[in-house]
Amino acid sequence: MLVLKVQPLSKAAFAPFGDVIETADSDFFMINNNNTQRFHRLAQVELSDASDKAIISIFRAKSLTMPLQVKMLERHPKGSQAFMPLKGQPFLIVVAPAGPEPELDQVQAFIATGEQGINYHLGTWHHPILCCAASDDFLVVDRAGDGNNCDEYYFAEGVQIMLDPQLALSGSSS
């Protein structure tokens, strides 16, 4: 059994999977008559085809019962996907590097503050939204276009991956 250690979300730790969208330690410049800080290009939308469009949506998610047995991950092979929490609530992230299928020993878990968002790089394996509140809203920037942009991978029945947010910072990975 693999028990995921939930680690705090940081730009360095999350870099293999995508971008952390946050203002902390990010450069900015002043706009609007020096009244507004613009934290420019915190993440980049990736699109695989010239005919694809970047779109903005809102996802409303419900929490799942924890601890959670992670049975599947998904990826988007034709575009990146960004999530920004709208209600300031923390959320959980389970990821594995891009590849033909998720590698069990590469699965990691993070917890984002309510002031951090994420942008999954094209092809990064990830669990669907894992909000910590009973319900939460996320601004989502992703791809619209022709072709399937969501591959799902279900782990074999004997594989057990457990996510327990109570293990944040103190849990073990085995």
Q: What is the pLDDT of residue 171?
A: 42
Q: What is the pLDDT of residue 121?
A: 98
DSSP letters spanning 46-92: -BSSTT-EEEEEEEEEE---SSEE--EEEE-TTB-EEEEESS---EE
Q: Tell whether the model's pLDDT for residue 170 goes beyond 90.
A: no
Q: What is the pLDDT of residues 31-86, one digit of tens each?
A: 999 999 999 999 999 999 999 999 999 999 999 999 999 999 999 999 999 999 99
Q: What is the pLDDT of residue 166?
A: 84
The answer for 32, left when phi > 0, alpha when psi is -120 to 50, beta otherwise, is: left
The closest alpha carbon to 93, from 1, 7, 3, belongs to 7
Domains of the chain in start order, with CATH, are 2-167 (2.60.120.480)
Q: Beta strand pairing status for 91-96 and 108-112?
A: antiparallel
Give the mean model confidence (pLDDT) for residues 160-169: 82
Give the mean model confidence (pLDDT) for residues 19-30: 96
Q: What is the pLDDT of residues 123-146, one digit of tens each?
A: 999 999 999 999 999 999 999 999
Please report the sign of the dihedral spanned by the C-alpha atoms of residue 17, residue 168, residue 114, residue 26.
Answer: negative
Helix (H, G, I), strand (E, B) or coil at 168: coil
**Model confidence pTM above 0.85:** yes
Q: What is the pLDDT of residues 88-113, one digit of tens each?
A: 999 999 999 999 999 999 999 999 99
Helix (H, G, I), strand (E, B) or coil at 29: strand
Distance CA 124, CA 99 (A): 8
